Amino acid sequence: MNLTKTSPKVVIRTHGCKLNQADSQVLARQFQQAGFTMVRSPAQADVVVLNSCTVTANSDSKARQYLRRARRSNPDALVVATGCYAQRAKDDLSAMEAVSLVLNNRDKENLVSTVAAELNIEVGLSIQNRPVAALGRSRAMIKIQEGCDQVCAYCIVPKVRGRERSIPPEEIIAEINSREENGCREAVLTGTQLGTYGFDIPGINLPGLLRRVLAETSIDRLRVSSLQAQEITPELLELWDDPRPCPHFHIPLQSGSDTILKAMRRRYDTARFAETVELVREKIPGAGITTDIIVGFPGEGVREFAESYSFVASIGFSDMHVFPYSIRPGTSAAYLDGQVDVTKKREWTGEMLELAATAKGEFRRGALGQTRPVLWEPGKGSDSAGVWSGLTDNYLRVRTQSIRELGNVITDARLKGLDEEWVTAEVV
């Protein structure tokens, strides 16, 4: 607002988790309120913002590659690095020639005003910490919690996101209602450690928050982004008797070996994890259950990998994210003996990825013939005219062709066939 020159253009690129996506939506809203124009590519932008991830070494590498590409495509742009990589290694990013400015997670709330100062422009004082109303998205990422006190041996997140803290329920409800008013049909509740939501707010916990959201909002779909196995209880699952919570549960496993889970300092064993999956499937038939797996954690040998592989195969996940273990400086696992050879990690990762593809294929084939609700978005690409893509309630990616205008519309769809990464569907 009240810019002293032509409104500058900004592009925001997000790496990593849904919490980062929520933060990026907040930044986009703040830039718009300050008079900036959102664009889609660095070549069009006066300001390029990368909201980075640092969960693995590969995440760091992707961030550096993007920043260098952005600089090459637009030598005159102000290139800003923020997010978790910026929190963990601010000096390293500041030393890059491609980077103009580095702001860590704790400085994000001042990012827009800092950028404006760098550009020597004046902005209004009404910048609010609210998410962007619409950026061509039908799903709103709603941050309900940030930080983690779990301190798993491999994880850098507690260092880059800080201690656990909950967003007051009134703010969450107001945010969801605001997003619905601006056209969003689905709210995805995000955070680092959702299951402990409310520990710092008297009289509220995650089930209590969900009850209030269901009672005090009317958004069509509600999705919970991730929960630990020990946090999923019968009390929580009763809330899925309401049709609005989506029957999809992301439950990070990390390893199917009890020896490795103990070394990772996870708060469950495989028996508890299997009981949780059984409970979900008993209460909510057809639910999608996705997970994360780390391969090659220090101390993992042939026996432990075989245990992990066998347990993962027994669960039958609907999808899996598989990562080779990556040393993160500052975590206790970085100092453990028994670091696994890179070649062995690569081999085991390949085997686990094959298992993931098999499990995903079985879940998708099992869904054929079902009719499920889909939230549709326009297809992308030059040949996408009349093509629509979307997510079922249980997190299957589907595609259809229709002359109807389906953007941001929820319809029932009959799942008919498989096409690479997509399930082909027919609108009912």
Does 2.40.50 match the CATH number of domain 371-427?
A: yes
- CATH architecture assigned to 138-246: 2-Layer Sandwich (3.30)
Identical fold, 9-119 and 138-246: no
CATH of the structural domain 276-367, one choice from 3.30.465.10, 3.30.750.200, 3.40.109.10, 1.10.3720.10: 3.30.750.200
Residue 381: which pLDDT band, with cuts at 50, 70 and 90?
A: low
Please list the residues that pair with 412 across neighbouring strands. 373
Q: Whole-prediction pTM value?
A: 0.89
**pLDDT tens digit sequence for 10-61:** 999 999 898 999 999 889 989 998 889 999 899 999 999 999 999 999 999 9
**pLDDT tens digit sequence for 265-298:** 999 999 999 999 999 999 999 999 999 999 999 9
Distance CA 167, CA 87 (A): 21
CATH code of the domain made up of 9-119: 3.40.50.12160
Please list the residues that pair with 50 across neighbouring strands. 13, 81
- Give the residue extent of every domain in the chain: 9-119, 138-246, 276-367, 371-427
In this prediction, residue 365 carries a pLDDT of 97
Shortest CA distance to 184 belongs to which of 234, 132, 243, 230?
A: 132
Question: Of 114-128, 195-209, 299-313, which gets the smallest average pLDDT?
Answer: 114-128
Shortest CA distance to 43 belongs to which of 3, 15, 21, 70?
A: 70
With a CB cutoff of 8 Å and minimum separation 6, the contacts of 369 are 414, 415
Distance CA 55, CA 58 (A): 8
